[in-house]
Chains A and B, each alone.
Chain A
Amino acid sequence: MDRQEHPTTTWEAMQDSTVFYRKQQVYSTPGKLPNLGDFIIAGCRYGGPLALMRDTSKLVALGSGTAAFAKAQIQVYSPAGEVLLLFSWDQGKIIRFGWTSDEKLAVLNEEGTYRLYDLQGDYQQYSLGADAAEVGIIDARIHENGLVALTGSLSLLEVKGWEGGKPLTLASPGISQPPHAWAVIPPDLTISRHVEALLSVDATVYSVDNLEATDQRLSRGPFSHLAPSPNGKSLALLTSSGSLWVVSTDFQRSLADFDTSSFTTSAGEIRQVAWCGNDAVLVTFEHMALLVGPFGDTLQYFYSGPTFAITESDGVRIVGPDTCDFLQKVPVSTVSVFRPGSTAPAAILYDAWELFSKRSPKADESIRSIRPELAAAVNGCIDAAGDEWEPYWQRRLLNAAKFGKAFLDVYDATDFVNMGQALKVLNAVRFYEIGIPITYTQYTQLSPSQLISRLTARNLHLLALRISSFLNLQPSAVLKHWACAKILRSKPTSTSKETGVDDEVVCKSIVEKFETLGSAGVSYAEIAQKAWEVGRTELATKLLDHEPKSSDQVPLLLNMKEDRLALMKAVESGDTDLVYHVLLHLHKRLPLGSFFRLIEEGGPALALASKLLQVYARAQNREMLRDFYYSDDRRVDSAVLCLNEAATMSDPVAKTNEVKAAQKFFSEDKERTFEAKMVDENVRLLTLQQQLEKEADGKISFFGLSVNETLRTCLINGMGKRADKIRSDFKVPDKRYWYLKLHALTEVHDWESLDTFARSKRSPIGYQAFVQHLVEKGHTREAISYVPRCDSNKRVDLYVLCGDWRLAGKECKDRGDKTKMEELKRTCPNSLIARELEQFAASMK
């Protein structure tokens, strides 16, 4: 076995040897990268790629390799120095570019247009809006989940997410010239959970969020560099005089202060201030990288040329001219195993295992000495294995863990197995041809499925598929990407085009692949969409047939102008929102006539669509609804629509006209003679009411009342004659009219008229109703006079209802009803009445 360098050889001590930092060379990239000093660079976290664009402010010597500089071009390199993508830019001047969390390159130009490029060079384009385009964008900061742009009018625009959302304006910082330097803290790292921008203005720093701009009242500025730490808690500031100052992001605590000016002379200009994890700051110069620890301790690393540092959550990646290095604080678990003289259980376990493999009996003794902490020691070794870059040491540490595990009675090996799997995956993706130098910590933060999607983005489908099956993950995401890529690659040849054979083959191969790999969760619709986008309609249709979710088929069908089918599928899905989506889309695109025809011809299958259209139109577009009903000869609906319209109107003429229109519609339908008659009555009533209002000199309002209310209004206003006339005109039945008149006359306390009315003829509603209503309204005295006209057997109760016990008693006596009398005596309210009743009872004999 060839000797590997011991891990500690790369360690360097800080803070009195209590903390160690290590710089590991991850890849060697001699001559692969251009001179980084000439470029504007953006690096992607989690071992992601590097995007380069020529810095036009720098002079470049013309030479053989400079052809690439002729036009605006962006190059994307993997950390191992391989070119992943190269594309040229034909839009307005690029202001800024940066990486999103899903490894897309966001490129923003001065007109506020931004594109999101994936690693295959496909992009989506969005814009910050017309206002932004007008004033122009002068700078921007791009973080993983959005961007903040500085406009020409010095206001800040925020875009959340990468779905082309509407930019929000942050609070106005009120500055008159661009900040010296600025940075943003992404929303997930701030306390408010909203993005925060830090602007270096004059001697101070403004923190700006969407509510307010706060002057932090500093005096050490202006600052040339601002860099928030990966966890958003601290901020590194570099003053113009070259002192590095670290504060908490709320500017309440000063954490460190360090003067770098002495280095600038020897190492050239300061290029970058970046964080190494959350507790050390890396300042890079032309030829040197300087690591500044929390207590001002420093470590220096020298490079032959300009470098670029990418902050990771657990360290910093430094891309130099010849190497790609990873600099990090040595993790605690590794320190405890390998630190010289460490007596941590993990170290002893590792030692014991080494002794054991040398067949030394001392191994047993070591194990015994840490018996109580053995489980912790095993875990320590597993953790340390995760933090080791070299497979050699990973294996040794895992072996040590396995060795220790054997001495434990109960041990859950899940962590051990998971770590083994994870390391296998990590070693595979770190391989230089793949070029994703990701640490175990980053891997757990990024999540395996994200890692896999990063692989598919690089068209590494086979590896991605292997890894996902190795980790028991759903292969559908990988397969989907693969299918899309396959469709893009398999351009139909001219011969096969006519026969359609090619499409058949591609479709079959895709479907087969999905079925053999048992991935049912894949969305064929998305793949079909891709096929359609590249102009392969035939293939898209074929693929779409395999889509189980009708809701997913709809958008594509709409695009493919399969209108009827799209509508059908939308209705089938039961999702009314989807139906609306289709309806509104079609309404926009089709001529009204064919739009209506499409729905009408659908019959019962499209009934839901038709109903929803009506719901929408009734509220938003009545004109269209009129046309719709008219075109389908739906007279009843047309009539109802007219009536509804009439109900909203107050102008008498318009209202009457609308009701007349309804009448016409009803009369055209033989089945609706009743309705026609009713509406006709309604027209008559409306006309009559107008007349009545005229008669009353507009003092009484009649218009729009019902027949009953009209009658009532007449009666209470002393228009009894009119009421009688209306009553006969509208053939109001006796009973209803009597009740109406009773109620109306009671309301105006016109007892005389009521009496005349009651006597006018024999009441069709009886007189009990009179008594009851009058009592109900509190007119008991008037009520009593009607009791004698009621049925004799009810009179006693009615008198009681009127509260006249004496009369009730008298009635009993007259009728000789002893039982009733007893009942009265029992229920009467006081003794006075009781005595009176007693007298009646006595006189009955």
Chain B
Amino acid sequence: MAAAPVASTSSTPEPSAGPRQPKEDEKPLDVSILKELARKALVDALNSVNGVKTLVLDNALAGPLGLVTEVSLLKHHGVDKMFWLEPGPLSATTTNIVYLCRPHISYVRIIADQIKRHGRESQKHNYTLFLVPRTSTLVSRILEEEGVLGDITISSYNLQFIPLADDVISLEHDTAFKEIWADGDETIIYNSMLALMKMQSLYGVFPRLVAKGDYASRLAKLLSKNLQTSALDSPNSLLRIMSEKIDSLIIIDRKVDMITPLLTQLTYEGLIDELIGLKNSHVELPMSLLNPPNAPNQPAAAAPTSNAPQGGTSLMKEKKKKHHLTTATDPLFAELRDLNFSAVGKKLNQVARRLDEDYKLRHQAKTVAQLKDFVGKLGGLQTEHQSLRLHTGLSEMLVPLTRTDVFNKSLEIQQNLLASYDVNGQISAIEELIAQGADMQIVLRLLCLASIVAGGIKTKTLENIKRELLQSYGYNYLPLLLTLASPPLAILLPNPLPASAPAAVAAGKYPYTALRRSLRLLIEDADPLEELENDVSYVYSGYAPISVRLVQCVAQKSGVLSNPAGEKDKKIAAGDSDARPRDATGAPKVQAHPIVGWKGFEDVVASIPGETADIVQGVPGQKDAPSAATLMLPKEQTTTTVVFFLGGCTYTEIAALRWVGRQTVGRRMLVATTGMVSGESVVASVADGGAAAAGPAEVGI
């Protein structure tokens, strides 16, 4: 079902997917079926309302929906006009009005308001409300309180995991982090459970659940409990069969590793997210980058109104257009996305040269047959050409942004803090950034990072810097500071803690310095970057995300202790390197070991705050769970380990996990998440609770 990459028609000498070209026996788990399900559910929902309809859409859903459907599909199923769900009057010409939104109270009140307004103007409409992903008592209650419950039909549109790439699926619920850790609203945990149940019903039962973190463990327990009860309701489903393709589900909640999102992501895709912004895999780019003479895949959503000036001096100021960054239409992106940004230039250069040579082939074409052959390849070359143009342009946009004073200072502070080098000096440096008027989110990220790695900031210093913050950015950020300081988040703490601090806060102190050693977080030796790329730490130029190390504790134990690829020199010297399968780069691959939970790392894992869970799932209805021994038998076929990030994950973590997957034979990684996050989105979403009320919420897209 997966759409074949457009460029597969071009038989360039190098395979476009690079070293990850799957072999026959390691076909990745087909996740495109999830997209089909989401699409079909949408069509069914729309068709249940007869006739033409006006669709009123929750802004936060537009992105996720864009990943599963096109506007033409909506039109095809009777959608006449579309509006954003925004306060204010709604003028619809059709009888049917269909609302599609997440069950947020603010939306419900807008809807109620619009219905009441129509009532006053005595307009007759049929209202249908589709809630994503399921109906909600709360919504009906509020509609009842507003007195419009009788006028509206409430139903649900079950939008769950959306594939972002062939190894990444996401619920695209952007506010998950804030809801769990700032509001204490666990709805997303339950919804994640339902989504994971759906996965189990498609691919079979996850044989083992491994979780770290209070909420992750809660999710694991909910999941295994729910499996037992719901499998009985559906006797013939896959819920009664142990999955052959999936060997385990690892759940990590964001609180377990708060450090990673606070850092600046240094991979290509991560940096785009940090500096330009990636939302639902879409990035806003200047038109000139996207409008080549023969653009092959124009998203139908946005119609260009005017032609941007070609070769404009400042790309950033040009008219913007959303572009879907995906490897399906852009083969080059697959090669670039996970590279450390410092290596991107070299790669682009390499591709450009390769392309140039390919074009030159036409000069060698002597016979008509050869010429025909070349013309056949031309389409692929042009796609690649356009792709190259896009990424060169994008890199050009990024470079000046990485040269700014603030960017480099903040990087420096991050690296120093990670090494626990002169913490007090770093805090002064942060203060300096405030004085310079750096972005609030950058300052807060660094401050939280300092608090976590140093186990708190001296009370006096902290109060001082908080005061600076409030004076500079506004007193309305006081609630945000309080949220960051109080449990369950507690990532901005004084040291020593006040005596009155809840026990949970004291217990939640992060043992960063110990972890740095035990999980080999910092690669200290200043190797050139090529060498660094042999460890997951390349994604942060020398720092390995704790979350990824934790996954390695389960799925690639040797990778935690030593660099699997780093040993290649010794192996070659010993002469036994041929015994192992190698990937294209020549690094030896390690045969995947069976999943045995946290074994070997129990102490390290226990030292990190948050509950730990390790559940061997039995097939419901059968009394005897499979013994751990049978699970440990190495399987013949390649299995997939699903890693679920509760509260969101960063692009760097995905890149690092892909790296882990590449290093092992017989195991692939599938990343599942509630959404993509970055330090900026984390800070912004938590701030949203209090401060954003000051002005109207930003209405984008």
Which A positions have Cβ atoms within 8 angstroms of B? 129, 165-166, 168, 192-194, 209-211, 474, 520-521, 548-549, 574-578, 580-581, 584, 607-608, 610-612, 614-616, 619-620, 636, 640, 643-644, 647-648, 671, 674-675, 678-679, 681-682, 685, 704-709, 730, 732-733, 735-736, 738-740, 743, 765, 769, 772
Contact = CB atoms under 8 A, between A and B. Distances in A.
B565 interface: no
B19 interface: no
A656 to B, nearest CB: 12
Given A520-B621, A580-B136, A736-B435, A619 B105 contact: yes
B436 interface: yes
B184 interface: yes
A733 B435 contact: yes
Contact of B472 (A520, A578, A643, A736): A736
Contacts of A129: 150
Given A521-B233, A643-B478, A577 B435 contact: no
Given A608-B184, A644-B479, A708-B471, A674 B190 contact: no
A685 B475 contact: yes
Given A615-B105, A616-B138, A648-B694, 14 more contacts: A211-B51, A575-B190, A576-B185, A576-B186, A580-B141, A616-B105, A647-B690, A678-B478, A679-B478, A706-B471, A706-B474, A732-B471, A743-B437, A772-B405
Nearest to A604: B504
Interface stretch (B309-317, B460-468, B569-577): B460-468
B504 to A, nearest CB: 9
Contacts of B472: 706-708, 736
B190 A576 contact: yes
Contact of A584 (B138, B434, B694): B138
Contacts of B478: 640, 643, 675, 678-679, 682
Given A608-B186, A643-B479, A739-B435, A708 B473 contact: yes
B145 interface: yes
24 contacts: A194-B50, A521-B233, A576-B185, A576-B186, A576-B187, A577-B135, A580-B141, A581-B137, A612-B184, A615-B184, A616-B138, A620-B109, A644-B479, A678-B466, A681-B471, A705-B474, A706-B475, A708-B471, A730-B471, A735-B432, A736-B435, A739-B435, A743-B437, A769-B436
Nearest to B234: A521
B47 A193 contact: yes
B437 A548 contact: no
B349 interface: no
A809 B91 CA distance: 68
Interface in B618-671: 621
Given A210-B50, A576-B190, A736-B434, A679 B475 contact: yes
A706 B621 CA distance: 62
Given A576-B190, A765-B435, A520 B468 contact: no
Contact of A521 (B126, B193, B232): B232
B690 A643 contact: yes
Contacts of A636: 482
B591 interface: no
B281 to A, nearest CB: 28
B585 interface: no
B222 interface: yes
B475 A682 contact: yes
B198 interface: no
B142 interface: yes
B461 to A, nearest CB: 12
B119 to A, nearest CB: 14
B500 interface: yes
B4 interface: no
Contacts of A648: 693-694
B134 A577 contact: yes
Contacts of B691: 647
Contacts of A733: 435, 468
B608 to A, nearest CB: 21
A647 B476 contact: yes
B186 A643 contact: no
Most buried by A among B126, B218, B475, B694: B475
B106 interface: yes
B498 interface: yes
Interface string B469-507: 011111110110010000000000000001010000000
B9 interface: no
Contacts of B51: 210-211
Given A210-B50, A574-B222, A577-B136, A643 B476 contact: yes
A743 to B, nearest CB: 7
B141 A584 contact: yes
Interface string B58-100: 0000000000000000000000000000000000000100000
B558 interface: no
A614 B105 CA distance: 12
Nearest to B479: A640
A574 B218 contact: yes
Given A574-B186, A576-B187, A772-B405, A619 B106 contact: yes
Given A675-B478, A765-B435, A620 B189 contact: no
A674 B473 contact: no
Contacts of B237: none
B229 interface: yes
A89 to B, nearest CB: 28
Nearest to B692: A647
Nearest to B151: A166
Given A520-B621, A679-B475, A708-B471, A647 B693 contact: yes
Nearest to B500: A671
B8 interface: no
B194 to A, nearest CB: 9
Contacts of A647: 476, 690-691, 693-694
B607 interface: no
B562 interface: no
Contact of B475 (A520, A681, A740, A772): A681
A730 B475 CA distance: 13
A548 B471 contact: no
Contact of A607 (B142, B184, B437): B184
Given A211-B50, A679-B475, A739 B470 contact: no
Contacts of A193: 47, 50
B183 interface: yes
B126 A168 contact: yes
B476 A580 contact: no
B235 interface: yes
Contacts of A740: 437
Contact of B185 (A611, A644, A772): A611
A315 B47 CA distance: 33
B183 A192 contact: no
A765 B432 CA distance: 9
Given A574-B222, A620-B105, A647-B691, A166 B137 contact: no
Nearest to B504: A604
Interface in B436-476: 436-437, 463, 466-468, 470-476
Nearest to B50: A194
Given A548-B229, A647-B476, A706-B472, A166 B435 contact: no
A612 B233 CA distance: 29
A521 B229 CA distance: 8
Contact of A611 (B50, B106, B184, B621): B184
B475 A678 contact: yes
A709 B142 CA distance: 39
B518 interface: no
Most buried by A among B186, B228, B233, B434: B186
- 10 tightest A-B CB contacts, nearest first: A611-B184, A619-B105, A521-B232, A706-B474, A707-B471, A682-B475, A736-B435, A576-B187, A735-B435, A581-B137
Contacts of B105: 615-616, 619-620
A615 B435 contact: no
Contacts of B95: 211
Contacts of A704: 694
